[in-house]
Amino acid sequence: MSTFETSPIAPLVGGGLVERGLSRARVLSLAAALCLAGTAAHGAEPAVEPLPAAVGLRAGDWLVHGRIIGMVPTERTSRIEAIGGRIDTPAALLPDVDLSYFLTDHIAVSGQAGAIRTRPMIRDSLVGDIAIGSIWNAAVSGVVRYHFLPGARFNPYLGVGVSATTPVAVRPAAGIPAFTVPSQTSPLLQAGFDHHLTGNWFANVMVKYVFVPPVAYEIAGVKVKTDLNMLVLGAGLGYRF
């Protein structure tokens, strides 16, 4: 007996379809199509659409922010012995990066480390304006934040934390002898929001107020005492991973 005679499509051919006017080739083509359809229906895996990225931020998420910030000194007071005048610390524009981890849907902790440069000057002294130099500080900070709307596209937050700075390079201006400034630890308050753009990308706006303690140092025998707070404004992007 031939292979064709024992196949499951043999009845189609030998059972009358050919006799009703369909050619053997036409019947074989039709049977093959039916077999392929059956294979697709029973054996092929259905296509699975990828799940969309979750909206908002949740427990277990890591989020890195990259921003441009402006540091604006506020509530400035100072006292300079002998020559008088005041200390002026100009505003500065700097890059800023922090990393956050969401302990719960509402509570996240963030940390950052970097370098900050200030260029204080003595203004309106008896001998005029005097450039002091540039001061580079290594800065680290930690913040605990409360996020009000986890899982929403717009997620505002409030935070409280601490910032610490340690001078790593003091470069006196021309004519100014070497001097030192102390390390500082400052409490801070933070507010802002993350807005989910698409996928894992977020827009971020942040404002931070740093309560800087008074600092005293000596320059060429002149004692200087200055007190200021720092307002930090920033905007940029965040990426969740």
Tens of pLDDT, residues 165-183: 999 999 999 989 998 899 9
At which residue do the structure tokens 């308050």 appear? 189
pLDDT at res. 190: 98
**Mean pLDDT value across the chain:** 85
- The confidence score (pLDDT) of residue 52 equals 62
For range 63-88, the mean pLDDT:
94
Q: Is 47's pLDDT higher than 80?
A: no
Q: What is the mean pLDDT of residues 51-57?
A: 79
What's the pLDDT score for residue 50?
Answer: 53
pLDDT at position 221, please? Answer: 84
The whole-number pLDDT of residue 149 equals 96
Length of the chain as a residue count? 241
Question: pLDDT tens digits, residue range 1-42?
Answer: 544 444 554 454 444 544 444 455 554 555 555 555 554 445
Q: Provide the pLDDT for residue 17.
A: 45
**What pTM, to 2 d.p., does this model score?**
0.76
The pLDDT, as a whole number, for residue 107 is 98
Instruction: Kindly state the helix (H) or strand (E) to which residue 42 belongs, with its residue range.
Output: helix 24-43
Over residues 141-168, the mean pLDDT reads 97
What is the per-residue pLDDT for 35?
52
Helix (H) or strand (E) holding 6: helix 3-6
User: What is the pairing mode between strands 121-125 and 86-88?
Assistant: antiparallel
Task: Tokens 């409030």: give the residue.
Answer: 158
DSSP-assigned beta bridge partners for residue 110: 100, 143
Instruction: Give residue-wise pLDDT tens across range 187-215.
Output: 999 999 999 999 999 999 999 999 999 99
In percent, how much of the chain has pLDDT > 90?
A: 68
Does 48 score more than 50 pLDDT? yes
- CATH top class, domain 62-240: mainly beta
- Kind and range of the H or E element at 206? strand 201-210
Q: How many CA atoms lie within 13 A of 205 on its CB side?
A: 5
Give the start-to-end residue ranges of the domains of the chain: 3-43, 62-240
Residue scoring higher pLDDT (108 or 222): 108
